[in-house]
Amino acid sequence: MIYVISDLHGYPHEKFLDLLNRAGFGKDDFLYILGDVVDRNGDGGVETLEWLMYQTNVQLLIGNHEAMLLGCSFVFDEITENSIDALTAEKIDMLTRYQLDGGDATLKAMQKLPKDTQQDILDYLRDCPLYETVSIGGRDFILVHSGLDNFAPDKKISDYTSEDLLWAWPELTTVYYKDIMTVFGHTPTLSFGDEYEGKIIKTETWIDIDVGTGFGRQPVLLRLDDMKEFR
């Protein structure tokens, strides 16, 4: 069966594994993590990234936070005359913005790792896709970090820019494809109103599964086959 979860944002790795166990997640199942494993809490999700590199039935999709980490990957380069020359005001600005957006925990945890592991993690992230499409029991799904900004009903998923897929802020009235369910995180559901606190939101055309784990709430794992939720 196919499971989805999103925006773990440094949720303790052991607790995440406990949640998978509680859901009965096994080797014949597949899990998509819809981005933003990193930043904000604890070690910033670095332990989960180290684990992810060796999983064959778990796929991370890129979130805006992984994209920001990759954008700041120059901090892990060896300091040479060339790397100092390449340190532009734009890069320093990018690093400042990333740290303000919760990247500090991740950068610190990454710095403690051996150089090889740092580079393996960055290489792993560079290979992660922006979206996936899956079909379950005749029902089609698009899995993506933030939704589909600049949506048009006749637009192909491959025609959206990374900005569209990583930084969308949908509203409750937003409508996506009629015949494909779009599943995303990124916008904590409680930002749609207090009544959504800790809850997944399902509309006719999309499902938001970011229940605010980055802000201290328990994550929810969703099984797409039967829409069962695990906490």
**Shortest reach from residue 9's CB to Mn ion, in Å:** 9
Give the range of 46-54, 56-64, 100-108, 214-222 binding Mn ion by CB under 5 A: 56-64
In whole angstroms, how far apart are CA 182 and each of 4, 155, 185, 193? 12, 14, 10, 21
Backbone angles phi, psi at 64, to 5 degrees: -60, -30
Kindly state whether residue 212 participates in binding Mn ion, applying the rule CB under 5 A.
no
Collect all residues with Cβ–Cβ distance below 8 Å to 188 and sequence separation of at least 6.
Answer: 7, 210, 211, 212, 214, 215, 217
Residue number, 25 or 65, with CB nearest to Mn ion: 65
Kindly state whether residue 63 participates in binding Mn ion, applying the rule CB under 5 A.
yes
Backbone angles phi, psi at 129, to 5 degrees: -80, 165
Kindly state whether residue 36 participates in binding Mn ion, applying the rule CB under 5 A.
yes
Give the range of 30-38, 149-157, 174-182, 221-229 binding Mn ion by CB under 5 A: 30-38
| Whether 6 contacts 36, CB under 8 Å | yes
Q: What is the amino acid identity at position 71?
A: G
**Shortest reach from residue 185's CB to Mn ion, in Å:** 7
Kindly state whether residue 10 participates in binding Mn ion, applying the rule CB under 5 A.
no
Kindly state whether residue 186 participates in binding Mn ion, applying the rule CB under 5 A.
yes
Residue nearest to Mn ion (CB): 186
Residues of the shown chain interacting with Mn ion in the complex, contacts defined by CB under 5 A = 36, 63-64, 186
